[in-house]
Structure 1
Amino acid sequence: MDKSLLQQQVLERLAADLLHAEQSARTAHETATHEENIAENKYDTLGLEAAYLATGQARRAEAIREAMASWRQFRPGAYDAARGIQLGALVCLADADDKQQHLFLGPDGGSMQLVNDAQRVQVISIKAPLGNALLGKCEGDEVSIQIGSARQQFEVIWVE
């Protein structure tokens, strides 16, 4: 799989998310400041609620901009078995039922599922529990994480 293509797909998805967040923030701001939404009494809170929504959408847009900056600067390198799995690794895991999943470890803000060469690839951060558990592991190693009351175990099948 091509890591640069995955990175480009993440950036395209983030750009679409940013556009949507900015449009939502503008719409909420227009609603908050529209003359018909001026509060007539203390129970008339439509304008106030729209202002809160506009603020939240603006914060979301800023978080997406920061994620995009991180992903633009991101340079996924080749796998080095001496260091084990690191940021930028493309990993294939198998669970106890031999079900495989592909993961791409990237910077924060890119948690999403992509399709590359007809394969689903889950993009995760190294701050995610599974991403953190994978750091330093090599092909053939086992990885175990606790999700609520259940423990999940995986085997690292291959790493690029």
Structure 2
Amino acid sequence: MAPLSKSAVLTAIQKTLDDELAALTRGARASFAAATDPDSRAENKYDTRTLEASYVARGQAQRVQELQAAVHLFQALAQDLTASPTVRLGSFILLDEDQYYFMGPGAGGTEVILEGKEILVITPASPLGQRLMGKGAGETLQLPAGPTFRITSVL
């Protein structure tokens, strides 16, 4: 494995999630303010600005809750950074010498760049995550209608 450590990767992921949560929380507050502002009430029966603003506010509030849950799950995961010979929750995985993944409990699709390497968070529920779980270094994996990968290392 490259000189990247699992703890450094986890720290970078947590910082990215914290930053995203802070930005999303600010946006959710602004959306709520827009949806409840007395000046934004409908001018006629066809004016749906307030209704649309409330949908945006509700969606952002739900996303904030999901991200808060992911932050808590990653904090709990940080308590156990032991290496495992097989892929499990919390594993840092290298495929074919240039594809880095972190098996996370949530926040799938989150990307971090550390020491010039792009690391993608995947979850056990994702198609790649399902195929990786339980596999070890040196094993190969075939994606449906896709290429074959070799697991170079698992931390």
1:131 has 2:129 as partner = yes
More strand by share: 1
Alignment match of 1:143 (pick from 133, 141, 144): 141
1:143 and 1:30 mapped to 2: Cα distance?
49
1:151 and 1:110 mapped to 2: Cα distance?
20
1:10 has 2:13 as partner = yes
1:65 and 1:141 mapped to 2: Cα distance?
35
1:156 has 2:151 as partner = yes
Give identity over the alignment, percent: 31
The unaligned stretches of length 5 or more in structure 1 are none
1:10–1:110 contact (8 Å) kept in structure 2? no
1:85 has 2:80 as partner = no
| Cα-Cα RMSD | 1.6
Q: 1:70 maps to which residue? A: 73
SS at match of 2:22: helix
1:77–1:89 contact (8 Å) kept in structure 2? no
CA shift for structure 1 position 14: 1.0
SS at match of 2:88: coil
Q: 1:46 maps to which residue? A: 49
Report the TM-score, using the length of structure 1 for normalisation: 0.85
Stretches (4+) displaced over 3 A: none
Alignment match of 2:100 (pick from 81, 102, 109): 102
Alignment match of 1:28 (pick from 26, 31, 56): 31
Equivalences, count: 150
CA shift for structure 1 position 110: 4.8
SS at match of 2:46: coil
SS at match of 2:147: strand
CA shift for structure 1 position 118: 3.0
